[in-house]
Amino acid sequence: MMQSLKPIKQMSQHVCTFASYSHDMTRQIETHHYVSRRNQDFLQCAVYDSEDPNGRLIGVEYIISDRIFETLGPKEQKLWHSHGLWVNPRVPEMIQKPELRDLAQSYSKFWCTWQVDRGDRLPLGAPALMMSPQGVNMGMVDLVKKRDDNYRISAEELKISKIDIAIPEMTNSYADYWMQTGKGFAVDVEKTDMLLEEVFSAATAAGESALDMESCG
C-alpha cells in the first residue's frame, strides 16, 4: 500500500527569510520555511537551510494570529517574535500581498535544532530560540544581497511596494523581547528525576535491590 504523506502534502507555501539566535544576535542565517495552515489563526512550518533537494531540516516554526497571541501569558509571549524580511520566492506580488497582510498581524515561535552556520554536521545540543531581525539594520547586508540575487528581487523595492500593508499600531511589548531589553533566551540541558509509572518504578527498585544483594554476596 502506498504511503499517503498527508501532513507533508499540506505544505502549500515556501517562504525565504532570515533569523538570528536569541542568545547571539551577531549570528544570522537564511531560512526556508515550508508552511501548512491549520486554520485562520495558526500556521506551522518545517524550516530548512535551503530549498535544494539536499536541504537540511534545521527547525520548526509556529505562527499564530495576534488574537491567539493575546491569550498567552507574558512568560510565553516573550518567546515569540513579529516578522521582518518575509518573501515568497517566485510568487507574483499580487498573490503574496493578502498573506503578508495577515502576517503583519501575527507572531512566530521558531526553534532551531541544527546550527549549520557554526559547521555542525549533525543536530547537536539543545534547540535554540530564534528571533526575526527588525528595525533599520533588519538583515545582514551580505545575506540579503545573496538572497535577492538568487531570486532576482530587491528587498528595498519590495519594502516600497508593501508600504500599503498596514503595520499594527502597537506590537505587544512582550514580543521581540530582545528589542525591548537587550536580553535573549538560551536553553540548557539539565539532569532531572524522571516521573515514572508505578509499575515501572517498582520494577526498577526491585532490580536495584537484587543488584545490591548480588554485590553483597
Domain residue limits, the chain: 6-190
- Asked whether the beta carbons of 128 and 22 are under 8 A apart, the reply is yes
Q: Which of residues 178 and 21 earns the better pLDDT score? A: 21
Say how far apart CA 57 and CA 47 lie, in whole Å.
Answer: 6
Residue-wise pLDDT for 136-149, tens only, equals 556 688 888 888 88
Instruction: Say what percent of the chain tops pLDDT 90.
Output: 49
Q: What is the DSSP letter of 205?
A: H
The grid coordinates listed for 144 are: 540579503
Predicted local confidence at residue 140, as pLDDT:
81
Q: Which three cell numbers stand for residue 105?
A: 498581524
Q: Which residue has the higher pLDDT, 171 or 176?
A: 176
> How far, in Å, CA of 64 to CA of 62, rounded?
7
Listed in sequence order, the residues at least 6 apart from 209 whose beta carbon sits closer than 8 Å to its beta carbon are none
More confident residue, 121 or 163: 121
